[in-house]
């Protein structure tokens, strides 16, 4: 059971921005720190900007930052906003209506209930809960490690 890479990158981008609140951060920097594709990350950042999680500043010296206080960013909400498919099993895909069980399928509602429990657990976390307190020794240590 895995979240999409898209959601994974979105969460890690927000975590990085939550650690670096005093400056603008670029896509190549995040891609380098995490060792992930800048191309793929660009699409993630575009979505996060559309959804009001990050704001971007264009031009020389530009980059991105959180568009709102980290405390207002709920992790369950981010997953809902970035996972395109919460169908949980392929057989419920709207593109795949072949399963003859579907009209009587209780598995569908059981898996739906389970994914709601998954999200409800993440709803208890806000972005700062995933990070050491800003400007703490631990956050400085983490930033130093991230910067290599």
Q: Which residue ranges make up the site for a second copy (CB under 8 A)?
A: 1-5, 7-8, 11-12, 15, 33-35, 75, 79, 83, 85-91, 98-101, 103-107, 110-111, 113-122, 125, 129-132, 138, 142, 145-146, 148
Nearer to a second copy, 55 or 113 (CB): 113
| Shortest distance in whole angstroms from residue 110 CB to a second copy | 5
Nearer to a second copy, 38 or 119 (CB): 119
Q: How many residues does the chain have?
A: 148
Helix axes 27-34, 5-19, angle to 10 degrees: 110
- Smallest separation, CB 133 to a second copy (Å): 12
- CA–CA dist 133, 144 (Å, integer): 15
Which CB sits closer to a second copy, 57 or 147?
147
Contact predicate 54/38, CB 8 Å: no
Q: Compute the least distance from the CB of residue 58 to a second copy, in Å.
A: 28
Q: How far is the CB of 60 from a second copy (least distance, A)?
A: 27
Query: Which lies closer to a second copy via its Cβ, residue 57 or residue 112?
Result: 112
- Number of Cβ atoms within 10 Å of the Cβ of 143: 14
CA 133 from chain center: how many Å?
Answer: 20
Per-residue DSSP letter, 148: -
Nearest to 63 by CA among 106, 90, 37, 31: 31
């Amino acid at each position: 059971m895995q979240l999409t890479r898209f959601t994974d990158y979105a969460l890690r981008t927000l975590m990085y921005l939550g650690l670096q609140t005093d400056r603008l951060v670029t896509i190549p920097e995040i891609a380098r720190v995490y060792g992930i594709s800048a191309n793929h990350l660009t699409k993630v950042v575009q979505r996060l900007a559309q959804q009001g999680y990050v704001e971007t500043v264009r031009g020389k010296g530009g980059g991105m930052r959180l568009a709102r206080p980290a405390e207002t960013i709920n992790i369950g909400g981010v997953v809902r906003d970035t996972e395109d498919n919460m169908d949980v099993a392929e057989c419920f895909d709207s593109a795949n209506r072949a399963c003859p069980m579907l009209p009587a399928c209780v598995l569908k509602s059981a898996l739906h209930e389970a994914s709601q429990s998954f999200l409800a657990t993440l709803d208890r976390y806000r972005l700062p809960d995933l990070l050491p307190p800003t400007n703490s020794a631990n956050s400085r240590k983490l930033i130093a490690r991230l910067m290599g």
